[in-house]
């Protein structure tokens, strides 16, 4: 959510951002409602001031033993009017809030303007793609090796909920530990979080109201199964104010993630490419506004480092305005090369939200410079999402005789070097 005052004072910049992100422009309606709102506040508060003044007088009169009936009678009409105004104000503010939620965050100037994924810029590529000859997609390999059981997963839970069996299960556990250890070395505090959250938290990171269909919901208890650790970890500091010197704060959290993926079918969903439940290590930062773009670069570097250590070829995309999402000001996607499918798979998405989330969640810091409280900037990025990494490892490291070599850095964790 943006700041009303910011919209009022930077109307044109906000409008430009809306166009670039191809969102609906409700700015005129917002400004009109804001005017109404302020008129109502003006009248209402004037009357409240009067009420407070007269009430104090009534108290004094009663103390002095005088009769205050006439004044009280007069206040009754004021009271009614105040109630009316408050009701009108409430309805205006409800409409206003609704529209405010439709205003996207303003893209950073360094972000390329564009409409579709084709306008994203590939800004960096690393590693050598294995030659494609004779390489199989991971689902063929895992089924031959019997290490991922999609069928039994369907029986037990449903499509998109596989079992990892034996060495695949150990490989996953190894990756989680490897990712968390790396994050720890790079200054992130490890956090083990709830994997369900309440309504306030779901609202805080913006999953509701607009993305409610993306989540599994335990309706009986009004709990939402998290689609990413970003939700509990960012909400960790909801409604808190930091000292400036505490910033930046960095967390790494491993959680299972649950996504309904309603309406997404087709060939993209084969094997491990798209699941309803998957594991992910998420990196989250709370930082001083002056450093947030440097922090975005280092966040990206932290995620890239993992891919380099694993020896997986990848590329970095700088997302264009039209494809970057509603809440971000700037976003990089990291895509790993899956040689068996001859395809790039997104494994991390590193974003700066500036104050967009912090405002919604009321996360501030006390500025030394101004003496005031200001909103922090929040960032997050995957570090990394597991299934597609597993897919890439299997496809890129497959041997002609159908085995899979485990990357060197993982072997201390897996305690085996080959999956066979």
Residues between 186 and 215 that touch RNA (CB under 7 A): none
Q: Does 264 bind RNA (CB under 7 A)?
A: no
Q: Which stretch binds RNA (CB under 7 A): 24-32, 75-83, 270-278, 343-351?
A: 75-83
Q: Does 19 bind RNA (CB under 7 A)?
A: no
- Considering the complex, state which of residue 220 and residue 267 has its C-beta at the smaller distance from RNA: 220
The SS3 call for residue 256 is: strand
Say whether 246 is catalytic: no
Residue from 189, 192, 373, 399 binding RNA (CB under 7 A):
373
Q: Does 38 bind RNA (CB under 7 A)?
A: yes
> What is the distance between the alpha carbons of residues 141 and 144, in angstroms, rounded to a whole number?
5
Q: How far is the CB of 196 from RNA (least distance, A)?
A: 12
> What is the distance between the alpha carbons of residues 325 and 322, in angstroms, rounded to a whole number?
7
> What is the distance between the alpha carbons of residues 114 and 196, in angstroms, rounded to a whole number?
36
Say whether 367 is catalytic: no
Q: Does 66 bind RNA (CB under 7 A)?
A: no
Say whether 122 is catalytic: no
Four-CA torsion 114, 115, 118, 120, nearest 10 degrees: 40
Say whether 274 is catalytic: yes
β-partners of residue 330 are 352
Q: Does 184 bind RNA (CB under 7 A)?
A: no
Q: Does 4 bind RNA (CB under 7 A)?
A: yes
**Number of residues forming the site for RNA (CB under 7 A):** 27
> What is the distance between the alpha carbons of residues 310 and 175, in angstroms, rounded to a whole number?
10
The Cα-based distances of 91 to 36, 85, 208 in angstroms read 11, 10, 21
Q: Does 49 bind RNA (CB under 7 A)?
A: yes
The Cα-based distances of 280 to 215, 268, 289, 392, 399 in angstroms read 16, 19, 27, 15, 27
- Considering the complex, state which of residue 267 and residue 372 has its C-beta at the smaller distance from RNA: 372
Say whether 300 is catalytic: no
Q: How far is the CB of 340 from RNA (least distance, A)?
A: 40
Residue from 54, 191, 214, 309 binding RNA (CB under 7 A):
54
Residue from 29, 32, 46, 187 binding RNA (CB under 7 A):
46
Match 């700066």 to its residue by tokens: 352
Nearest to 26 by CA among 11, 41, 38, 40: 11
Q: Which stretch binds RNA (CB under 7 A): 68-76, 166-174, 293-301, 379-387?
A: 68-76
Q: Does 91 bind RNA (CB under 7 A)?
A: no
Q: Does 79 bind RNA (CB under 7 A)?
A: yes
Return the axis-axis angle of helices 27-63 and 11-20, rounded to nearest 10°: 130
Q: Does 370 bind RNA (CB under 7 A)?
A: no
Q: Does 48 bind RNA (CB under 7 A)?
A: yes
Residue from 51, 81, 276, 343 binding RNA (CB under 7 A):
51
Q: Does 276 bind RNA (CB under 7 A)?
A: no
- In this structure, what DSSP letter does residue 405 have? E
Residue from 56, 115, 157, 418 binding RNA (CB under 7 A):
56
Q: Which stretch binds RNA (CB under 7 A): 55-63, 151-159, 284-292, 307-315?
A: 55-63
Q: Does 369 bind RNA (CB under 7 A)?
A: no
Residues whose CB falls within 8 Å of the CB of residue 247, separated by 6 or more in sequence, listed in order: 286, 287, 288, 365, 376
Residues whose CB falls within 8 Å of the CB of residue 267, separated by 6 or more in sequence, listed in order: none
Taking the CA atoms of 54, 59, 64 and 66 in sequence, report the sign of the dihedral they define: positive
> What is the distance between the alpha carbons of residues 127 and 271, in angstroms, rounded to a whole number?
24
Q: Which stretch binds RNA (CB under 7 A): 70-78, 128-136, 264-272, 332-340?
A: 70-78
> What is the distance between the alpha carbons of residues 296 and 292, in angstroms, rounded to a whole number?
6
**Footprint on this chain of RNA (rule: CB under 7 A):** 4-5, 38, 41-42, 45-46, 48-49, 51-56, 58-60, 62, 68, 72, 75-76, 79, 364, 372-373
Catalytic residue numbers? 259, 274, 346, 349, 388
């Amino acid at each position: 959510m943006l700041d009303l005052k910011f919209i009022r004072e930077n109307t044109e910049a906000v409008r430009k951002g809306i166009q670039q992100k191809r969102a609906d422009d409700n700015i005129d309606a917002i400004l009109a409602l804001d005017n109404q709102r302020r008129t109502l506040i003006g009248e209402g508060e004037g009357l409240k001031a009067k009420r407070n003044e007269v009430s104090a007088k009534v108290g004094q009169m009663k103390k002095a033993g005088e009769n205050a009936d006439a004044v009280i009678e007069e206040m009754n009409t004021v009271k009614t009017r105040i109630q009316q105004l408050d009701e009108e104000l409430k309805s205006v503010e409800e409409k206003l809030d609704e529209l405010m939620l439709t205003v996207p965050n303003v893209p950073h100037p360094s972000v390329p303007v564009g409409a579709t994924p084709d306008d994203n810029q590939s800004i960096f590529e690393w590693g050598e793609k294995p030659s494609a000859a004779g390489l199989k997609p991971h689902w063929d390999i895992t089924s031959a090796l019997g290490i991922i059981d999609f069928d039994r997963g369907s029986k037990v839970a449903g499509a998109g909920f596989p079992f990892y069996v034996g060495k695949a299960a150990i490989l996953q556990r190894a990756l989680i530990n490897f990712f968390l250890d790396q994050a720890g070395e790079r200054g992130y505090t490890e956090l083990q979080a709830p994997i369900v959250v309440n309504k306030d938290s779901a609202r805080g990171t913006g999953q509701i109201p607009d993305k409610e269909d993306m989540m599994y919901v335990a309706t009986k208890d009004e709990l939402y199964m998290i689609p990413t650790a970003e939700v509990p970890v960012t909400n960790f500091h909801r409604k808190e104010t930091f000292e400036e010197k505490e910033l930046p704060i960095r967390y790494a959290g491993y959680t299972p993630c649950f996504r309904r993926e309603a309406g997404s079918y087709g060939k993209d969903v084969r094997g491990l490419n798209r699941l309803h439940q998957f594991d992910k290590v998420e990196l989250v930062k709370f930082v001083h506004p002056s450093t947030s773009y440097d922090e975005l670069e280092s966040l990206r570097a932290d995620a890239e480092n993992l891919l380099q250590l694993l020896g997986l070829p990848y590329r970095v995309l700088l997302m264009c305005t039209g494809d970057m999402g509603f809440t971000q000001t700037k976003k990089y996607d990291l895509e790993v090369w899956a040689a068996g499918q001859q395809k790039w798979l997104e494994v991390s998405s590193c974003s700066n939200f500036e104050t967009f989330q912090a405002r919604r969640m009321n996360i501030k810091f006390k500025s030394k410079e101004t003496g005031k409280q200001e909103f922090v900037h929040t960032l997050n990025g995957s570090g990394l999402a597991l299934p597609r990494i597993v897919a890439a490892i299997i496809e890129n490291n497959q041997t002609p005789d159908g085995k899979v070599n485990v990357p060197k850095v993982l072997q201390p964790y897996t305690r085996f070097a080959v999956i066979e």
